[in-house]
Amino acid sequence: MVTLVPPHRSHPLADLIEKIQSGGALLPDSPGNVLEVVSILKSYGVVLDAYQRNLTFIAEHQFLVLFPFFKYFNGEVTFSKLLKHWWHDRINYEFAEYCMKAMFWHGAEGLDTYLDSEEFSQRAGAAIRAKLKGNGMMQGLDRLFPEFLPEQVRLLCYYSALGQFWNVMSRMFLNLSDRYDRGEIETIPQVVQHIQDGLVEAAMQPITYAIEIRGECYEIIPESAGLTFLKDTAVPYVEAVFFRSFPFFGTISYNAQAGQISANQADFNYGALFADPLPVGGAGIPPTLLMQDMTHFLPNALRQVYLQELRGEDDLRVKICLSFQKAMFCVTTAAIKGLMPHPIDTTNPEQQQENLAYLEGWMDKLQDSQLLNMQSL
């Protein structure tokens, strides 16, 4: 029999810590929550797939294009697509860029270390020179501002890294939906386990970035750089997008390159887990764009659940946001469990104590999030 070290009862989220210790999840387990989470993750998976394709397209095919007017067209520029773009009945790829910029803003430790390395400078320099060949104006710009184009390449690395992360996640979420349809997923802990397994499986997948210029391949982030899925994209993504995001545009201004972004998470609470679903678009990354995109791909079962509620279609995006936050707390649970310093069922008291300190650290970060509201939904 496993005896767990109990959390400090004075901790406001002690109940949730015990719940995770005993194999539960941050989100209460109920058939309604399972339907909501799986269905919303299915629509999210479809949207993420579109986002990751576009991020990858921009990284690979809009390399150092200073005015990428058609970057959201994925290489297919037609008049009908242009009309659709102007009509705005499309995937809001801007949201993907906001998330990428949030990651870029707050930084990813391993990725940033590489992007500041000499190796990156040389590889980026080679690609830049190849790209600027025969372009006098751009070469002049590069000489005048030698840090400008390498910084653009760093940004494109983030495009590529997030695209690769979302590629894995979108397939994982769509696979979850398929398993639910086959009756293999029935509880929230099973949802969490599916995500945790997916993260573990992809954990060591290398993050690389290469572009082709005039038929020649330029590796910007080679496999040898040692960047991997979990450590260099998943964790920074959760930190930047789930926890921090950035203040609403125009309210505050920081210079990220000058290191003005506070490392203290408490200075930011605009992330997906904190976002207030009611004043839509009120702070942080505008979540309305994502919710709007997901409205197009809602599974019928979830749509029917929404329609039975009081406002029907009127507050669809608020309902999607609430369901999405539920789903993100499942992803967070999977991340917490996946990153545990020791197995959750360890019998070693020291390891248990370290696990507890780890869990209390997470819960400290989540205290002001929507977590407590989720317990009653």
Partner 1 sequence: MLSLFVWLPFLGVLFISLLPLAWVGRSRQIALVLCSVVVVWSLYLVSQFSLADAALQFQESLPWIENLGLSYQLGVDGLSLPLLVMNGVLTWIALYSSDTQINRPKLFYSLVLLLNGAVAGAFLSQNLLLFFLFYELELIPLYLIIAIWGGAKRGYAATKFLIYTAVSGVVILAAFFGLSLLSASGSFDYEIVRIHDLSLATQIVLLVTLLIGFGIKIPIVPLHTWLPDAHVEAPTPASVLLAGVLLKLGTYGMLRFGLGLFPDAWEVLSPWIAAIAVISVLYGSFAAIAQTDMKKIVAYSSVGHMGYVILAAAAATPLSLMGAIAQMISHGLISALLFLLVGVVYAKTGTRDINVLRGLLNPERGLPVVGSLMVVGAMASAGIPGMVGFIAEFIVYRGSLPVFPVQTLLCMVGTGLTAVYFLILINKVFFGRLPESLANLPPVRWRDRIPSVLVAVLVILLGLQPAWMTRWSVAIANSLGLEIPSRTAMNWSIPAAPVKPVPVASQHSKREIEISAPAAPAIDSGSVSGRMLSVR
Site residues (vs partner 1, CB under 8 A) = 276, 278-280, 282, 310-312, 314-318
**Shortest approach of partner 1 to residue 282 CB, angstroms?**
8
Torsion over CA: 117, 164, 288, 236 (sign): negative
Task: Produce one character per residue of 73-96: b if its CB has 16 or more CB atoms within 10 Å, e if not.
Answer: bbeeeeeeeeeeeeeeeebbbebb
Compare residues 13 and 283 and give the one whose CB is closer to partner 1.
283
| 45 token code pair | 């998976």
Compare residues 247 and 282 and give the one whose CB is closer to partner 1.
282
**Shortest approach of partner 1 to residue 300 CB, angstroms?**
21
**Shortest approach of partner 1 to residue 279 CB, angstroms?**
5
**Shortest approach of partner 1 to residue 149 CB, angstroms?**
41
**Shortest approach of partner 1 to residue 176 CB, angstroms?**
27
Which of 81, 59, 46, 330 is CA-nearest to residue 218?
Answer: 59
Compare residues 300 and 376 and give the one whose CB is closer to partner 1.
376
Compare residues 82 and 278 and give the one whose CB is closer to partner 1.
278
Contact 114, 221 (CB under 8 A): yes
Compare residues 84 and 296 and give the one whose CB is closer to partner 1.
296
Compare residues 73 and 248 and give the one whose CB is closer to partner 1.
248
What CA–CA distance (Å, rounded) separates 221 from 326? 35
**Shortest approach of partner 1 to residue 376 CB, angstroms?**
11
What CA–CA distance (Å, rounded) separates 340 from 243? 18
Q: Could you please report the per-residue DSSP string of 271-311?
A: STTT--SSSTTSSSS-HHHHHHHHHTT--HHHHHHHHHSTT
| 373 token code pair | 């509201």
